[in-house]
Amino acid sequence: MSIRLENIGKHFGATRALEPVNLDIHEGELVGLLGPSGSGKTTLLRIIAGLENPDRAGTRTPARILFGQRDVTHVHVRDRRIGFVFQHYALFRHMSVFDNVAFGLTVMPRRSRPSRGEIRARVFRLLEMVKLEHLANRYPAQLSGGQQQRVSLARALAVEPDVLLLDEPFGALDAKVRQELRRWLRHLHEELNFTSVFVTHDQEEALELSDRVVVMSDGKIEQIDTPETLYRAPQNRFVFEFLGDVNHLEGQVHGGVLTCGDARLAVDLPDGAEDLLLRPHEVRLAEQPNADCHLPVTVTAVSPIGAEVRVELEADWLAKPWLATVRHADFERLSLQRGKRLFAHPRQWHRFADEAADLLKPHAA
Ligand SMILES: Nc1ncnc2c1ncn2[C@@H]1O[C@H](COP(=O)(O)OP(=O)(O)OP(=O)(O)O)[C@@H](O)[C@H]1O
């Protein structure tokens, strides 16, 4: 089921939670709404659900919500055929896992309600999918947080919703369980191909799970793209900064050289103030400066965890420490340790002409 949002805005009294936005979600797509706290993600999700009404816009451009061809703008939440999973959408504590998952089916009007045998078969099929069939008789209190969220998901899918909405579904779980559940949701989605929209403020979660990510800030959509395009071609500074760690190199350009204290970098830019941005993997470390680049730094922390080594760098010319990620081989070759003095060499850098848009292509340095 595709979803189309036209001119959907929202005010709460004088607070503008959402500027009028347009959004097309394709059938079978898994779309993440990503943004900092207060950016309007939950408001947008609640409007899709029918838990909140969009502002009534002028008659020429009315707000509309379509599920496929069906205009659901004025359809009550209970008739929108939606499944929900919320961070704290507690299961019914006095009901077994089986009864929780069966709940939505057992309360259907008699004429559309499946028979008891069909309900049983469907619940067990779902429990198998979420790998909990052996716990059907347990009560929620006897399950881990991750298992409870899997039951919530099975419960949401039981009524075969047209659209599945998830609001920070893994927000309350610890990092490892979160990651497991993400992979598992991705697989389930591929298997069942439902259309779903989920809210998160976790970049990694959005990039790993989504077919496309909607990046939001301050009630506006900043960019809608696949994770890869978002990361490689952010449309503005906000998206670039929000999607990963960023190092700043601020200074004055004069005659093709950017200077900042005793730091210097040759750049092909007109004279004036600049703020260049670098991702941690774009910072190379070396024992020596060169003719084009003199960026002296001191190592202040090293964490050789995982596939790469994270190195924190400080310098008098830096307002905020830099973060570099280097390979283990370089870590050993440079004998990196606290207090070591080195030189940073940007592999490439990025620059946004202003807050509005305008990505200038990344520059190899
Ligand atoms: N019921 C409400 N009454 C008044 N203001 C609200 C209400 N709901 C949301 N807001 C305001 O609307 C803005 C957007 O809130 P929303 O919850 O959609 O953001 P969010 O991106 O989901 O944030 P978070 O990640 O913190 O949940 C915020 O400024 C918030 O304070």
SS (H, E, C) 202-261: CHHHHHHHCCEEEEEECCEEEEEECHHHHHHCCCCHHHHHHCCCCEEEEEEEECCEEEEC
Question: What residues does each domain of the chain span?
Answer: 3-241, 245-346
pLDDT value at 20 more than 90? yes
86 vs 322, residue with greater confidence: 322
Strands 82-86 and 348-352, by their bridges, are unpaired
pLDDT value at 360 more than 60? no
Q: How confident is the model at residue 193 (pLDDT cuts 50, 70, 90)?
A: confident
Position 179 scores a pLDDT of 85
For residue 39, which atom of ligand 1 is closest to its CA?
A: 21
- Helix 116-129, helix 145-158: angle, nearest 10: 140
Q: Note the residue count of the chain.
A: 365
- Helix 97-106, helix 145-158: angle, nearest 10: 20
Question: What number is the average pLDDT over the span 269-296?
Answer: 94
Q: Quickly list DSSP for 9-39.
A: EEEETTEEEEEEEEEEE-TT-EEEEE-STTS
pTM for the structure as a whole:
0.85
Characterize 67-105 residue by residue with b for buried, 16 or more Cβ atoms within 10 angstroms of its Cβ, and e for exposed. beeeebbeeeeeebebbbbbeeeebeeeebbbbbbbbbb
Q: How confident is the model at residue 246 (pLDDT cuts 50, 70, 90)?
A: very high
Q: Which percentage of the chain shows pLDDT scores above 70? A: 95
β-strand partners of 167: 86, 199
Question: What number is the average pLDDT over the span 305-316?
Answer: 92
158 Cα: distance to centroid of ligand 1 (angstroms): 29
| Short-list 10, 11, 29, CA closest to 21 | 10
219 Cα: distance to centroid of ligand 1 (angstroms): 9
Beta carbons within 10 angstroms of residue 273's beta carbon: 9
**Cα dist from 234 to 99, 227, 342, whole Å:** 46, 10, 31
Please indicate whether residue 92, judged by its CB atom, sits closer than 6 Å to ligand 1.
Answer: no
For residue 10, which atom of ligand 1 is closest to its CA?
A: 12
The correct answer on CATH 2.60.40.650 for the domain covering 245-346 is no
pLDDT digits (tens, 9 = 90+) for 59-118: 567 899 999 999 999 999 888 889 988 877 678 999 999 999 999 899 888 888 899 999
Position 57 scores a pLDDT of 62
Q: What architecture is domain 3-241?
A: 3-Layer(aba) Sandwich (3.40)
CA 269 to CA 257: how far, in whole Å? 8
129 vs 310, residue with greater confidence: 310
pLDDT digits (tens, 9 = 90+) for 323-341: 999 999 999 999 999 999 9
**Angle in degrees, CA 292, 298, 304, rounded to 5:** 110
**Ligand 1, atom 10: nearest CA belongs to which residue?**
17
pLDDT value at 154 more than 80? yes
245 Cα: distance to centroid of ligand 1 (angstroms): 26
- Helix 116-129, helix 97-106: angle, nearest 10: 130
**Ligand 1, atom 3: nearest CA belongs to which residue?**
12
**Ligand 1, atom 16: nearest CA belongs to which residue?**
40
